């Protein structure tokens, strides 16, 4: 993540049991270390430097601190709750559950518009490219891609960037995944193979691959 919050929306995408949550947790741990440093140097208002999570699997609760925020699927105005905070990280696991009508709500678009001004970064998690909503693509800065069960067209249509390069990323991920048995793959925890993809710059970086 950039040192200045509010400049990143990262989509973490991979099929079940490939390591999405483990990678998202590592990003939160990194964020917690950064806010430790910040809070030792300065005193911030109570709505700054928070971890805000939609966490239906309770995967991030042990990383939360006093004053951090859980979002609830039943809260129809969850976006307004997020807008109360500044210089914070928002993690949305299975983000699509918060947007069941296949459209970005007015509240979410307001949140996207305000994110840089309020210093809000987002890590969103989904298990399939087809669940990346079309209008959301224009806001996503970066992708963390794991093995997916999608055909080439579906993958290239939903992951921003040069299509041949994006399809090549998908194929390399699937080849890497096939190197392992299920048991071998589980033993990689938490260092699962993924590709960090910056579609705007057409830059890809393989992470934790046997052969890069």
Going along the chain from its start, the domains and CATH numbers come out as: 9-207 (3.40.50.300)
Give the pLDDT score at 5.
57
Give the pLDDT score at 200.
81
Gap between the Cα atoms of 162 and 135, Å rounded: 18
- Phi, psi (deg, nearest 5) at residue 73: -60, -30
Gap between the Cα atoms of 49 and 31, Å rounded: 9
Residue by residue, pLDDT tens for the chain (212 residues) are: 334 456 799 999 999 999 999 999 999 999 999 999 999 999 999 999 999 999 999 999 999 999 999 999 998 899 999 999 999 999 999 999 998 887 899 999 999 999 999 999 999 999 999 999 988 988 999 999 999 988 999 899 999 889 999 999 999 999 999 999 999 999 999 999 999 999 888 899 999 998 76
Give the pLDDT score at 177.
94
Gap between the Cα atoms of 108 and 99, Å rounded: 9
């Amino acid at each position: 993540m950039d040192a200045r919050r509010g400049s990143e929306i990262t989509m973490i995408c991979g099929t079940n049991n490939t390591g999405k949550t483990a990678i998202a947790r590592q990003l939160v741990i990194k964020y917690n270390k950064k806010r430790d440093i910040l809070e030792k140097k300065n005193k911030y208002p109570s709505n700054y430097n928070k971890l805000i999570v939609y966490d239906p699997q309770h995967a991030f609760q042990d990383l939360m601190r006093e004053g951090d925020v859980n979002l609830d699927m039943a809260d129809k105005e969850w976006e307004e709750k997020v807008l109360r905070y500044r210089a914070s990280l928002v993690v949305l696991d299975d983000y699509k559950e918060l947007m069941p009508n296949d459209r970005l709500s007015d509240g979410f678009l307001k949140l996207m518009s305000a994110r840089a001004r309020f210093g809000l970064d987002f890590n969103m998690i989904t298990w399939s490219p087809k669940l990346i909503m079309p209008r959301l693509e224009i806001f996503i800065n970066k992708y963390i891609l794991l093995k997916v069960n999608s055909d080439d067209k579906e993958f290239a249509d939903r992951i921003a960037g040069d299509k041949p390069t994006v399809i090549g990323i998908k194929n390399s991920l699937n080849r890497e995944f096939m190197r392992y048995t299920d048991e071998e793959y589980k033993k990689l925890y938490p260092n699962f193979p993924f590709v960090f993809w910056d579609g705007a710059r057409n830059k890809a970086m393989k992470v934790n691959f046997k052969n890069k």
